[in-house]
Amino acid sequence: MDQSTETTNTSGPGKSTTTLNGGQSVSKRLQTELMQLMMSTTPGISAFPTDGNLQHWTGTINGPEGTPYESLTFKLSLEFPSNYPMAPPTVLFTTPMFHPNVDMSGRICLDILKDKWSAVYNVQSILLSLQSLLGEPNNKSPLNGQAAELWDKDPKEYKRLLMLRHKEAED
């Protein structure tokens, strides 16, 4: 059986995803995604391979306007498995984070990174989803119970604790 079968799915103007079976599939897919990100005009998100390693990227998201995260920048680590895009990458906040759906180790509770993953998602859609999550947490599934409670009940204390955590990144 041919291990280098290629299929291309187009999901709108200028958007295509290529899935290959075989050893080069992950690299080819990630190279395509890198080019798409570099050519994108989407503000507030970026990602690049770390030290030239296509399977380990560093991502950056800016906090959305009108949220406690506004004017803050957050770094993420993205590790792509050998069967990407059939399986999701492991994504962690490396900037200390205070958020209902992020634990103190930076692990994220987001359905598209777990059971709702689909090969149609890419680095850009992951970063945009995480940016959106900053302003719209899922308090029904918190990893950080204190943050979930404060989100609605005490926005000033929430912001204070967020800034304390974020300051750790600068120290």
**What CA–CA distance (Å, rounded) separates 165 from 73?**
12
Q: Which residues are catalytic?
A: 109
Residue 111 burial (CB count, 10 A): 11
Q: What is the token pair recorded at 125? A: 């859609």
Helical H runs in the chain?
Answer: 25-39, 123-135, 145-153, 155-170
**What CA–CA distance (Å, rounded) separates 127 from 170?**
22
Q: What is the token pair recorded at 111? A: 């359905």
Q: What element of type H or E holds 79?
A: strand 73-79
